[in-house]
Amino acid sequence: MPKIEINIEDFFNLLGKRIEKNELEKIFEYAKSEVEEISNEIVKIEIKDTNRPDLWSTEGLARELRGRLKLERGLPKYSVKKSNYKVFVDSKLDRTTVCAVVENVKLNSEALKQVIQIQEKIATSFGRNRKEVAIGVYDKDKINFPLFFIGERPENIRFVPLDFDKEMNAIEILEKHPKGIEYRNLLEGKEKYPIFVDSKGKIISMPPIINSDDTKVTENTKNVFIECSGTNNRAMELALIVLVALLAERKGAIRSVEVAKIEFERFGERIKCISCGSDKVNLIPWLGCVYECKSCGAKLPIVEKGKNLKIVKDSIITPNTKPKKIIVELSYINKISGLDLKLNEIKNLLLNARYEIKRVSNDKLELLYPCYRFDIMHQRDVVEDILISYGFDNIPPKDIKLYTIGSEIPIEKFKNEMAEILIGLGFQEIMSYMLTSKKNLFEKMNRKEKEIVEIENPISENWSVFRDFLVPSILEFISLNQHVAHPQKIFEIGTCVILEDKEAKDIEKLSAAISDTKAGYEDIAPCLDAFLRNLKLKYELIPTINESFIEGRVAKIVVEKKEVGIIGELNPYVLEKWNIVFPVAAFEINVNEILSLVSKIRK
């Protein structure tokens, strides 16, 4: 769970009320938080919700508690004034960006600490260690718009990185700067690195690594530019909204930024100025990606000689701070909460939770909730907010109406038995997520794409579908642990989801694999034999064809004339897709089918 530190006086100022220290622990429960330590000035808090980044700061906690304590009820609204700020993104980049400007913000040392703290926590969690989201915060007054988010060769990228006093090129930054060393794996091997360049050719950052020292934010900064760049659009939007709302709590005024994709047109060996159309332009020697127009004086980025910028029409205006809408049923609220709340009670509790009641119609409430609440996806989320406002301590306990004696579910008992057998054979158990991506299930496994169970509103493309095959999870684990000593013998017993008559159906599967310098069919087959013999099952292996495995080195596993799984050596093409160096042999079986067969034998 996220842990943060806040300054108690700064918190009281933002809250608008002083609270006795002995009451803080109880108060913070209303913001899903637990006080770990209170000193003279600092409170250490653990946020008990990984889906509420809006609470990971002094500003967010104060905003939430102003509602719960009835100091400021209803929907927090953030107006965005339209501006002429523009950011152009190279359409060939594998990253994009969303941006905002916050003007006249009142920053102090505590505000800066909170910005840095939440920046790092969001980039680490939702941004997956900056792989999907990296956040940059800049002194806007030291930047010349429009900005360009483009790719450039590392040897041509030169600027003074944050907290350094010496200009370095991109390669030196990755080798010598602490952040460069920590995150260089995100850029190493790429021909071009992403950079933000302003209209005068000044590099202001190289995401996802480091900003320039020249544009760093200090207590004297009045106007702030924020960019969230990456590959996960939803997580980028979340990061931007949370930061914008944070700075708005510091009296900042939000300004929009237009983000437009750009592509390149050829003009023979000449470059035409995007600003005035003149062909009287020169490359700036120290930075090959920028040209200077002799006619109008503009300094604008290009990527290669003989190419010029062209703005693509599909631009977006960010940030979007409009409230979101959800409809809940009054009967559902009382059913799930176990309470008997009247309409006026529910309205008051929702106002305390920072909602706005837009319309009441029969049994339904149409609600608006804040732009920074990305965690609300279902009526149950609203019921949870109502219960927090009501106070869990105030919910009367009820007698248990039906007493039962618990026992272990047969399939769970069987899974433990299978795990013990495989551990006895020298395998190590792993556990992975049910959610994955189509790329992992099909492209990386050399399988033809088919209809599977998908998430309607995934937080990330990497977690957008339910797995129907367990071997990809095993291969992902092996690919991330190739530095560990070999041979590697691992297994997983986990849930997969398949479509049956257009309905999602959970099935349990078991997959085991061996990875080594010469791992093959003859290594994994004895393990399968020992496993099934321990379960007193007779089986046969029938040659088959499966695109994920090597032809001639793969077979169906058949028990009692029923196909229950597959065994074989993984296709070298598949291993290459996973960047796995050593051969892998594996088997996968349907646990539900095996349990059914074992149960018949044991009756």
Handedness of CA 281, 282, 287, 289 (dihedral sign): positive
Are the beta carbons of 302 and 308 closer than 8 angstroms?
Answer: yes
Name the strands in the sheet holding 324-329, side by side, starting at the edge strand that comes first in the sequence.
324-329, 364-369, 356-361
Q: Is the pLDDT of residue 591 over 80?
A: yes
Q: 324-394: which CATH topology?
A: Phenylalanyl-tRNA Synthetase; Chain B, domain 1 (3.30.56)
At residue 360, the pLDDT reads: 86
Mean pLDDT score, 333-354: 93
At residue 545, the pLDDT reads: 95
Q: Is the pLDDT of residue 285 over 50?
A: no
Architecture of domain 3-68: 2-Layer Sandwich (3.30)
CA distance 303 to 294: 19
CA distance 472 to 470: 6
DSSP β-bridge partners for residue 159: 168
At residue 286, the pLDDT reads: 40
**Angle subtended at Cα 1 by Cα 19 and Cα 346, rounded to the nearest 5 degrees:** 55
Residue 182's region, left for phi above 0, alpha for psi from -120 to 50, else beta, is: alpha
Are the beta carbons of 106 and 113 closer than 8 angstroms?
Answer: no
At residue 404, the pLDDT reads: 83
| Predicted confidence (pLDDT) per residue in 22-76, tens digit | 888 888 888 888 888 888 889 899 998 888 999 999 999 999 999 999 999 999 9
Fold match between domain 80-262 and domain 324-394: no
Residue 435 C-alpha from the chain's centroid: 13
At residue 271, the pLDDT reads: 60
Which residues in 170-246 belong to E strands, given as ranges?
193-197, 203-206, 210-211, 224-230
Which letter, b or e, does each residue of 134-171 get, where b requires 16 or more Cβ atoms within 10 Å of its Cβ? Answer: bbbbbbbebbeebbbbbbbbbebbebebbebeeebebb
Distances (CA, A) of 337 to 32, 330, 334, 367, 503: 18, 11, 5, 18, 29
At residue 319, the pLDDT reads: 95
Helix (H, G, I), strand (E, B) or coil at 276: coil
Q: What is the full DSSP assignment across 70-112? A: TSS-S-----EE----EEEEETTSS-EEEEEEEES----HHHH
User: CATH homologous superfamily for 410-602?
Assistant: Bira Bifunctional Protein; Domain 2 (3.30.930.10)
Structure tokens at 133: 């989201």
Helix (H, G, I), strand (E, B) or coil at 214: helix
| Predicted confidence (pLDDT) per residue in 287-334, tens digit | 445 566 777 766 665 544 445 556 666 789 999 999 999 999 999 999
The whole-chain average pLDDT of the chain stands at 89
Mean pLDDT score, 535-559: 95
Q: Is the pLDDT of residue 266 over 50?
A: no
Helix (H, G, I), strand (E, B) or coil at 426: coil
Confidence at 512, pLDDT banded by 50, 70, 90: very high
Structure tokens at 76: 């927090």
The amino acid occupying position 541 is L
DSSP β-bridge partners for residue 137: 226
Those residues whose C-beta lies under 8 Å from the C-beta of residue 99, and which sit 6 or more positions away, are 85, 87, 147, 225, 226, 227, 228, 240, 257, 259, 318
CA distance 426 to 417: 15
Name the strands in the sheet holding 96-103, side by side, starting at the edge strand that comes first in the sequence.
80-81, 253-255, 96-103, 224-230, 133-139
| Predicted confidence (pLDDT) per residue in 438-488, tens digit | 999 999 999 999 999 998 878 778 889 999 999 999 999 999 998 899 999
Identify the H or E element spanning 408: none
Domain spans in the chain, listed from the N-terminal domain onward: 3-68, 80-262, 324-394, 410-602
Those residues whose C-beta lies under 8 Å from the C-beta of residue 217, and which sit 6 or more positions away, are 107, 112, 115, 137, 138, 139, 224
CA distance 448 to 545: 13
CA distance 35 to 41: 14
Class of domain 80-262: alpha beta
Are the beta carbons of 326 and 333 closer than 8 angstroms?
Answer: no
CA distance 598 to 590: 12
Structure tokens at 331: 């009967």
